[in-house]
Structure 1
C-alpha cells in the first residue's frame, strides 16, 4: 500500500529546487529503479546522462529560456496546446484533464480566458511576458542541481517498426519508475520540454551532450531536492485532476463504460 500511495501522490515540480547537490547515492538509486523497468526481450534500450557540470546546465538553461521566449512570442506554444487549457475550477472538474491556468501576472488576470487568443498574445508582447517567462524558465533550469538526459539505442529505436514502439514503451516505463521514486527521496522532477519544440535548439543540446550517431536524444529532465515552500512561476497551472473511470475505462468491449464504485459480481455457478 505504501508503494501504491506513493504512485497516487506523484507530482511534477513547476517551482525551484534547493541548491543542494543530489547525493550520488540517490542518483544511482534512481538509475537502478529505471533499470528495473520492463523492456522487450530485456533489451534495455534506454541510456541516461547525469549532468551536474554547472557550465553545461547553464547552457541548457539558456537554450530552454530562449526557446520559451520564442514559443510564447510567436504564439506557437498556445496554438499548439490550446486544447489542454482550462480556466475555471468548474471546467477542470467537468473535463478532469488538461491544466487549470490559475496563476497569472497581475495585468493579465482580467483577461484570463482571452490571454491565449491573438489579442491576448499581442498584449503579452506589449507587457514583455514572453521575455519574463523565458527568464523564469532559464532560472528554473539553471537552478537545478541535476539534469537527466534520456536517450534510446538506435539499433532498437527504429520509428515505424515494432521495435520503435517497444523502445519508447520501455523508456517510458523507466522514466515513470524514476518519477515515482523521487518523492520518496524528498526530490522533484520536471520535463525540460521547450527546446524540443524547436529542432535547431534540440540539436544544440544534442551537440552540447556529444550524443553519438547510434543514440537518439529523447528527453531532458531537471531534478533536485524540494524546498519547504515553493514560489510559483509567473504563469502557472495545476493539473491534479484525473478522469473518472467511465471516462477512460471500459468493460468487455469499448462501448461499455466502467462505472465508479460498482461491486464485483460473482459469476453464477452451475
Structure 2
C-alpha cells in the first residue's frame, strides 16, 4: 500500500498544472470520452447532474470562440475545447449546482493529466457568455460556466506555489492557526 501522499490520485492532484500551450496533435475521441465520463461522474446534490458539455474541435468554431476572450492565443492554440454549462432547467440549488460543476471541471482536468494531456480552466470568457452561446447555438437555459482548453502540452517546466497551510487553515475557530 502506498504511503500517504504517494498514491496515484494524490500525486496527480499535487502535480497537475494549468497548461496554456499545446502541440497540433488532435485529442483522440477515446480520450475525449474518458474526460467527459470523468466529468459526469462528479458528485452533485440530489444526483441532478446539472452540467452540460459541448465538445469543440472544429477550427473555425475554435477561432470564433478565441475572439471572445483576452486569452485568444490559448483558445486558438488548443485542438480541443470543452464548454461547460449549468443547465438552469434542471437546477435545484444554484450554490450546490455551481459546486458540482466545479467538481466536474476538476475531474476533467485531473483526467487530462492522467492521460498525458494538458488543460486549463478559462473563466474570463464568461464576460462574453452571450456571444459564446450564440456561436454554439445554445438554448437559453444553458449558462456558460467555463471553457476548458485541452491538448498535448508543449514540453516545458511548469511550476506553481501555494500558501502554507498555517496561512489558510484554522484550528477549531478562526484566528487559531493550524499547527500551532
Same fold at TM > 0.5: yes
Corresponding position: 1:41 with 2:49:
no
Q: Hey, what's the Cα distance between the residues in 1 that align with 2:57 and 2:91?
A: 27
1:185-238 Cα shifts (integer Å, max 9, x gaps): 1111123333323xxx321111001110222111112110112247xxxxxxx8
Q: Which runs of 5+ in 2 are unaligned?
A: 1-6
- Structure with larger Rg: 1
Q: Is the 8 A contact 1:156 1:164 kept in 2?
A: no
Q: Is the 8 A contact 2:123 2:145 kept in 1?
A: no
Aligned to 1:24: 29
Q: Is the 8 A contact 1:22 1:146 kept in 2?
A: yes
Q: Hey, what's the Cα distance between the residues in 2 that align with 1:252 and 1:35?
A: 34
Corresponding position: 1:53 with 2:58:
yes
User: Higher relative contact order at CA 8 Å, sep ≥6: structure 1 or structure 2?
Assistant: 1
Q: TM-score, normalised by structure 1?
A: 0.60
Per-residue deviation, 1:251:
1.8
From the two aligned structures, give the one with the greater helix fraction. Answer: 1
Corresponding position: 1:243 with 2:163:
yes
SS in 2 for 1:222: strand
Q: Which runs of 5+ in 1 are unaligned?
A: 69-136, 231-237, 261-270
SS in 2 for 1:174: helix
Aligned to 1:147: 81
Q: Is the 8 A contact 1:211 1:217 kept in 2?
A: no
1:194–1:39 CA distance, 2 compared to 1 (3 A): closer
Q: Hey, what's the Cα distance between the residues in 2 that align with 1:19 and 1:30?
A: 19
Aligned to 1:227: 154
Q: Is the 8 A contact 1:151 1:215 kept in 2?
A: yes
Aligned to 1:2: 8
Corresponding position: 1:257 with 2:177:
yes
RMSD over equivalenced CA pairs, Å: 1.9
Aligned to 2:4: none
Superposition pairs of residues 94-109 of structure 1, within 5 angstroms? none
Which of 188, 193, 205 is residue 132 of structure 2 equivalent to?
A: 205
Q: Is the 8 A contact 1:146 1:222 kept in 2?
A: yes
Q: Hey, what's the Cα distance between the residues in 2 that align with 1:31 and 1:7?
A: 18
Q: Hey, what's the Cα distance between the residues in 2 that align with 1:192 and 1:36?
A: 21
Aligned to 1:264: none
Aligned residues: 174
Q: Is the 8 A contact 1:156 1:167 kept in 2?
A: no
